[in-house]
Amino acid sequence: MNAFWIATIGTSVIAFLLKYIGHNVPERFFAHPKVQSVNTLIPIALLSALVAVQTFTEKSKLMIDHRLAGLVVAIIALFLKAPFPIVVISAAFTSAAIYNWF
């Protein structure tokens, strides 16, 4: 079994367990404000790190290339309150244009 299969199955099993355990834990368990605060902050941290790594790295090396143009356009789209699909498509279109022309 290769890494992609292990990741697919492992992620799926844990994802379900987390959901199911949640349904079986008493509500007061999560009442503490610090627990709730950490719960909203973790996705922010991980997703921000993923944006950075997916845009500026290639096999453990830092790199600036056509993907930066895509990201800049995505940021502009988000500032203009564009819906999610427009953000993704405009980033892909820009990045493809730069990659194909230079």
Partner 1 sequence: MSRIESTTFRDSLSVSFTVGAYGTAFGAAAVANGFSVVQAALLSLLTFSGASQFAVVGVLGAGGSAFSGIVTASLLGVRNGVYGVIMAPRLKVRGFKRVVAAQITIDESTAVALGQESRSESAMRQGFWLTGFGVFFFWNLFTLAGALGAQAMGDIRVWGLDSAVPAAFLGLVWPRLKSNRDKFLAISCVCFALAMTPILPAGLPIIATAFIAIAVGVRA
**φ and ψ of 35, to 5 deg:** -65, -45
Check if the beta carbon of residue 14 is closer than 8 Å to that of residue 7.
no
Check binding of 92 to partner 1 (CB under 8 A): yes
Check binding of 48 to partner 1 (CB under 8 A): yes
Check if the beta carbon of residue 79 is closer than 8 Å to that of residue 66.
no
Check binding of 16 to partner 1 (CB under 8 A): yes
Which residue in the set 64, 85, 101, 102 belongs to the binding site for partner 1 (CB under 8 A)?
85
Per CB under 8 A, contacts with partner 1 among 50-79 are 50-57, 59-62, 66-67, 69-71, 74-75, 78
Which residue in the set 29, 64, 101, 102 belongs to the binding site for partner 1 (CB under 8 A)?
29
Which residue in the set 64, 76, 80, 99 belongs to the binding site for partner 1 (CB under 8 A)?
99
Which residue in the set 64, 76, 80, 84 belongs to the binding site for partner 1 (CB under 8 A)?
84
Give 58-70 as a DSSP string: ETTEE--SHHHHH
The CA-atom distances, in angstroms, between 53 and each of 40, 62, 67, 85 are 21, 9, 11, 21
